[in-house]
């Protein structure tokens, strides 16, 4: 059961998008930090490492010739690792509702083309991804990272349906979003978001739109260190807990949290789902 805007207004502020968050209609267009620029100036945050981790995970798994659609592509943060690790990509199409975001993506592309001999086909479209898409594919890969939570629930479902329809048979969707347990209304982990999903709710919707989950990869740890320790122990027992404690003594938290999360699946506070389009 979802909550109306009126119902949310009766709840505490932790359930609602923070006033002043940049919006286009009902969508938050707040962008995550440019982790490439942050790392270059020596700034390392768990969310930045998470973002790099998921982008690299995808770039290492796409194949030469693949046609990729980047849903809510923002400022084009997926592009640098694609250029570096899969320059033989067939085509890349970026979709976003924000003209400002797309201008940043085009500027990033211009810089990349100065540094690379890759001539992969790239285009961008300014669209509302909950509405019918001007591009129909079929695409081999859909990238939908750290964006679903910026849409209201029903529009998010519509966008997932469009992504599934645009995929070729057995095409893959890489979808990441916060994992916020419990029934709605839910307190937002990050108040620049509009609607955060629970693992149970989202997996049911993915099945409904014709997507089968192949892998669940955690990308941010549980909310507290104690919860992380408990999740590690539950999955790996005393040996895993001992290893985690040893890593904690030596590895910076900003690096350790996202890396440990990759073994925690739906116990993580942000999750990357690898899905395939169902063929029957």
Ramachandran angles phi, psi of 29, nearest 5°? -110, 20
| Residue 1 in this model has a pLDDT that exceeds 60 | no
Helices 153-166 and 199-208: crossing angle in degrees, nearest 10, is: 40
Q: Which tokens hold the place of 136?
A: 């129909």
What's the whole-number average pLDDT of the chain? 95
Contact 90, 61 (CB under 8 A): no
At residue 253, the pLDDT reads: 95
Per-residue buried b or exposed e for 85-119, using 16+ beta carbons within 10 Å of the residue's own CB: ebeebbebbbbbbbeebbebbeebbeebeeeeeee
Among residues 90, 62, 74, which one has the least CA distance to residue 28?
74
> Helices marked H in 73-216 — which ranges?
79-85, 99-115, 153-166, 199-208
Return left, alpha or beta for 180; rule: phi > 0 is left, psi -120 to 50 is alpha, else beta.
beta
Residue 121 · residue 79 · CB < 8 Å? no
Q: How confident is the model at residue 11 (pLDDT cuts 50, 70, 90)?
A: confident
> Band of the pLDDT at 9, cuts 50, 70, 90?
low
User: Going by DSSP bridges, is the β-strand pair 91-96/67-71 parallel, antiparallel, or unpaired?
Assistant: parallel
pTM of the model: 0.95
Q: Using an 8 Å Cβ cutoff, are 134 and 95 in contact? A: no
Q: Residue 118: its pLDDT value, please?
A: 86
**Cβ neighbours of 279 (radius 10 Å):** 10
Distance of CA 40 to the CA centre of its chain: 22
Tens digits of residue pLDDT in 114-164: 998 888 999 999 999 999 999 988 999 999 999 999 999 999 999 999 999
The secondary element (H helix, E strand) that includes residue 225 is helix 225-250
Q: Can the peptide bond before residue 185 be classed as cis, meaning omega within 30 degrees of 0?
A: yes
Name the DSSP letter for residue 13. Answer: G
Domains of the chain by start residue, with CATH: 38-277 (3.40.50.150)
Taking a C-beta distance cutoff of 8 angstroms, is the pair 121, 92 a contact?
yes
What is d(CA 232, CA 158) in angstroms, rounded to the nearest whole number?
Answer: 35
């Amino acid at each position: 059961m979802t909550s109306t805007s009126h119902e949310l207004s009766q709840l505490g502020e932790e359930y609602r998008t923070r006033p002043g968050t940049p919006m286009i209609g009902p969508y938050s267009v707040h962008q995550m930090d440019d982790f490439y620029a942050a790392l270059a100036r020596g700034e390392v945050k768990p969310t930045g490492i998470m973002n790099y981790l998921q982008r690299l995970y995808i770039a290492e798994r796409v194949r030469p010739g693949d046609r990729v659609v980047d849903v809510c592509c923002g400022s084009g943060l997926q592009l640098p690792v694609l250029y570096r690790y899969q320059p033989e990509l067939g085509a890349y199409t970026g979709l976003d509702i924000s003209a400002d975001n797309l201008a940043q993506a085009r500027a990033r592309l211009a810089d990349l083309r100065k540094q690379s001999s890759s001539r992969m086909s790239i285009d961008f479209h300014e669209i509302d991804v909950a509405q019918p898409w001007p591009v129909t594919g079929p695409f081999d890969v859909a990238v939908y990272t750290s964006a679903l939570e910026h849409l209201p629930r029903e529009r998010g479902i519509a966008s997932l349906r469009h992504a599934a329809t645009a995929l070729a048979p057995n095409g893959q969707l890489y979808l990441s979003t916060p994992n916020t347990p419990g029934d709605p209304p839910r307190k937002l982990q990050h108040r620049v978001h509009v609607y955060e999903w629970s693992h149970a709710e989202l997996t049911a919707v993915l099945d409904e739109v014709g997507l089968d989950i192949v892998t669940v990869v955690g990308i941010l740890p549980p909310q507290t260190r104690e919860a992380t320790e408990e999740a590690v122990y539950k999955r790996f027992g005393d040996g895993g807990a001992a290893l985690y404690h040893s890593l904690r003594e030596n590895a910076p938290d900003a690096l350790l949290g996202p890396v440990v999360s990759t073994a925690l699946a739906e116990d993580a506070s942000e999750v990357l789902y690898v899905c395939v389009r169902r063929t029957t």
